[in-house]
């Protein structure tokens, strides 16, 4: 993990761990800086150290952080882009989006289970924070898709697949 990516993750986790009273109900300077560095006006969270690509995990972090900072407008912006651009027909999310100077497109339609879980969690947090039944239903839809499509029975018990495609091996087990 390089320095910029490490800074992104550490800043995100530090902000989540900060006590609520430290924010005084207003987004703090770190949150504003995070948005300036990683969030585009359309709601896409960019990996600035990886050619400006977008990952479903980054979108999930943006949604989680928005709930932590009680920033409903940013949450809605990130969720709208995520839902409209990365959501698949099965309610999981494509994990990789590439952008060029003139357009953008999903580059990898396979999902990433960690992002799907974090998106469901972010939706649930938002539903509770802002009393939004519609977001609770969205969280339930994503969680149901995870349970239905990604949890598999192995001889030693249930396993969460990292993604729907590419993690089924006839000669070995997922661990």
The residues annotated as belonging to the active site are 57, 114
- Cα 72 to chain center, whole Å? 16
Helix, strand, coil percentages, rounded to 5, for the chain: 50, 15, 30
Contacts of 4 (CB under 8 A, 6+ apart): 48, 49
> What's the N-to-C CA distance of the chain in angstroms?
23
Strands (E), 36-127: 54-55, 94-99, 104-111
Q: Pairing between strand 157-160 and 151-154?
A: antiparallel
């Amino acid at each position: 993990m390089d320095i910029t990516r490490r800074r992104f993750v550490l800043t995100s986790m530090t902000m989540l761990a900060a006590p609520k009273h430290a924010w005084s109900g207003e987004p703090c300077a770190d949150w504003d800086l995070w948005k300036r560095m990683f969030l585009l006006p359309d709601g896409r969270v960019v990996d600035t150290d990886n050619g400006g690509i977008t990952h479903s995990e980054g979108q999930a972090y943006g949604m989680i952080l928005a709930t932590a900072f009680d920033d409903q407008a940013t949450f809605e912006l990130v969720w709208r882009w995520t839902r409209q651009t990365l959501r698949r027909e099965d309610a999981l999310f494509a994990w990789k989006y590439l952008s060029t100077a003139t357009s953008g497109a999903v580059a990898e339609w396979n999902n990433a289970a960690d992002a799907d879980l974090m998106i469901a969690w972010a939706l649930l947090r938002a539903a509770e924070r802002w009393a939004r039944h519609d977001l609770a239903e969205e969280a339930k839809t994503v969680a149901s898709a995870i349970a239905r499509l990604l949890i598999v029975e192995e001889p030693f018990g249930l396993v969460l697949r990292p993604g729907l495609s590419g993690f089924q091996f006839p000669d070995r087990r997922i661990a």
